Structure 1
């Protein structure tokens, strides 16, 4: 995979996905942070269904703390791992108020110091809420990067570093969502939709799905 091919891949993905953004519903950085924490091992659709009711009742750290852990669980009990997520979110809200005046911080170290927030979540917030050119590698991006040979790596961090190194500057801000959406709807896990894929001729996956399959 050379630089010219990588640029063509991103150009075509950008043409195919003109508005690359998260499918999580949110209005503020705090709402996005809560939605991303809830989205671990859960679908965006499931998270959106829960947060529609949660955010109508409580969409600030103070309001969620007022619910308490038990009250918060009632809103998110349809989401996987809701008990641990409720505990982390309550602790996260306390930390935001104690250290950041209730505001979501703009830097990685401060974000990763929040309960329930790891590198991937921090990257999502930095990119989606604050417009930084970070690339959060989830299962979709990990699969697409390795399958296409765009940025192969054996670990999530290795793929992230490879994407940071090889993604053309013009596409760094949108690369995260371009690759997620491509993986979610076209380069799917079990049976990639290669006949409909806009980058099939550039992709180096040796086991492409045939049109007759």
Structure 2
């Protein structure tokens, strides 16, 4: 990492740079009013291996039919699979969502605890979705690491990790807690539209002076 790396300045510049682009899906849905922990969690499940351009309309279609665990349990698996059409593995996700709703209703009385350990105990919920749902829905300090966040912070040289969970652990030691939720909110669209996987836009990047460009062989 460059000795003059200033995370506050970096994130501020990225905030300005991403304004022309769509918000990350979970933050977009939150602003539309789908802001309960349950809604955020199931939308994150929908988003797995699925582009935001698909995640948002599929989530909206699902919410038209069910916005609570109790409502979701009234939908049979074939119908739920149809509602999830367009996302990856809709049949598998239908069973996952049904199982999550069932546990919430029968184990937690319909109220999903805002607790990382509880969320990750639900089948199909990993650290990314648990932290993202908690951060967006409840404002808890939580870092969510997707493929974009993982790539960007490694490219900067801020961390040197191989897997997203390693990146999560490393970022928790390097990023002030008040910025944890912002990591995904800012770096997801930044990584998708500016610091792209191939041919990143280095020549116009607002934080190039802070970036080690780790692994970058060609760029725009």
The alignment's TM-score, normalised by the length of structure 1, stands at: 0.89
Residue 62 of structure 2 contacts residue 83 of structure 2 at CA under 8 Å; is this kept in 1?
yes
Gaps of 5+ in 2: none
Alpha-carbon distance in 1 for matches of 2:57, 2:80: 14
How many aligned positions are there?
211
Cα 1:20–1:76 change in 2 (3 A) is closer
Stretch of structure 1 that moved more, 160-169 or 116-125: 160-169
Q: Does the 8 Å contact 1:21/1:128 carry over to 2?
A: no
The alignment's C-alpha RMSD in Å is 2.2
Distance in 1 between the 2:179 and 2:18 partners? 12
Provide the rounded CA distance (Å) in 1 between the counterparts of 2:93 and 2:64: 19
Deviation at 1:16, TM superposition (A): 3.4
Could you list the per-position Cα deviations for residues 87-114 of structure 1 after superposition, in whole angstroms to 9, with x for gaps in the alignment?
1111110001012222222111110111
CA contact (8 A) 1:89 1:115 kept: no
Counterpart of 1:23? 25
Is the Cα–Cα contact under 8 Å of residues 13 and 178 in structure 1 kept in the other structure?
yes
Distance in 2 (CA, whole Å) between partners of 1:66 and 1:55 is 13
The gaps in structure 1 that reach 5 residues or longer are none
Shift of residue 80, structure 1, vs aligned partner = 0.8
> Quick one: distance in 1 between partners of 2:177 and 2:38?
28
Q: CA deviation at 1:170?
A: 4.2
Q: 1 or 2 for the larger relative contact order (CA 8 Å, sep ≥6)?
A: 2
Q: 1:138 offset after TM fit, Å? A: 0.9
Structure 2 partner of 1:63:
71
Task: Say which of 113, 127, 134 aligns to 2:121.
Answer: 113
* Shift, 1:31, TM fit: 1.5
TM superposition shift of 1:10 = 2.5
Q: TM-score, normalised by structure 2?
A: 0.87
**How far is 1:47 from its partner?**
1.7
Shift of 1:14: 3.4
Query: Matches of 1:149 and 1:181 in 2, distance apart?
Result: 19
- 1:41 pairs, out of 49, 53, 69, with 49
